[in-house]
Amino acid sequence: MSTEHVDTTRTETTDGPDGSNGADASAGTPDGSAATDASDLDGEDLVLGYPNAPEPVIDGESIAAEPGAVTALVGPNGSGKSTLLKGLATQISPEDGSVLVDGEDVHSMDTKALARKLGLLSQESTSPNSITVEDLVYHGRYPHRGFFERTTDEDARAVEEAIELAGCGHLRDREVGSLSGGQKQLAWIAMVLAQDTDVLLLDEPTTFLDMHHQMEVMEIIETLRDRSDVTVVVVLHDIEQAARLADRMVALKDGEIRARGAPEEIVTEDLLADVFRVDADVVQTENGPRVTPLRARHED
């Protein structure tokens, strides 16, 4: 579904399953799975940076998103997780490497064709304050019709399903400018869902939201994971949220992928010390790892 719109060493020194030199913490998962299967979304040997920056943020990393699953990108501030997501979403053109959707280079695809495959909820989403929530959600259908074409029954069904899944039916006639931050996020998520793509990219969708709205967003993603075959890649700051939500996690630091795999294998005391520079207690529970930070680690 879609829209537009430390002195550290790697966890292991072996090559990752998708060709990068990050560790594969999933090699010993109970089901024996690894990220070697064909993926709906692949970033290969990506070099990503910004104009006038002396060095790229991401330099030669690869990532394969498991089809129909949720992959969470985690790491400290400045680790490169949002830059990596922007590269996958074509918001940043790679200096080298490629991004493939269903085996096709995204930079060779027509804009609308790509928008039917890949949806993005970014941190910079904006809209006119006077537009209603329902009209905003209908904007998610633009890749599916021509400029002068009227909306169809299929559009209406997709919009209603998106509004229902996002839980914002009670807001449909409200102007976007009148909504709270959490309500706006639900409206934007509904628009992305209405785009009806195979791949969905979410950049910190719970940031700045209160606990209630964070849980609403998490539940939407969980529903997508459990009831559809949409491939989701999400950037999250809260590592416990990420562990609860994701099928696989990718941990970044200083633009490098340090580890990847199942949440219970990624969220460890050693990784938190290495990547996040905190000493912490980690207890595995039926609801996922519970992390208790103890103290910040300081480099010499």
DSSP string, 71-129: EEEE-STTSSHHHHHHHHTTSS--SEEEEEETTEEGGGS-HHHHHHHEEEE-TT----T
Question: How many beta carbons lie within 10 A of that of residue 147, not counting itself?
Answer: 5
The answer to whether the beta carbons of residues 105 and 93 sit under 8 Å apart is no
What pLDDT is attached to residue 164?
97
The average pLDDT across 173-202 equals: 96
Q: Are 75 and 81 in contact (CB under 8 A)?
A: yes
**pLDDT value at position 299?**
74
pLDDT over threshold 70, residue 139: yes
Burial of 162 (0-12, 13-18, 19+ CB in 10 A): buried
Q: Mind listing the domains of the chain with CATH numbers? A: 6-102+198-300 (3.40.50.300), 126-196 (no CATH)
What pLDDT is stored for residue 124 in this prediction?
78
* Structure tokens belonging to residue 235: 């950037």
Contacts of 63 (CB under 8 A, 6+ apart): 18, 20, 42, 43, 46, 71, 84, 88, 250, 257, 260
Percent pLDDT > 90 in the chain is 77
Q: In one letter, which amino acid is 281?
A: D
Question: In this predicted model, what pLDDT tens digit does every residue of 255-297 receive, in sequence order?
Answer: 999 999 999 999 999 999 999 999 999 999 988 899 999 999 9
Instruction: Flag whether pLDDT at 238 surpasses 50.
Output: yes
Strand order across the 96-101 sheet:
58-65, 41-48, 96-101, 104-105
pLDDT in tens, 30-87: 333 333 333 489 999 999 999 999 999 999 999 999 999 999 999 999 999 999 999 9
pTM for this one? 0.85
**DSSP-H helix ranges across the chain:** 81-88, 111-117, 133-139, 153-166, 181-194, 211-227, 239-245, 263-266, 269-271
Is residue 213 within 8 A of residue 229, CB to CB? The reply is no
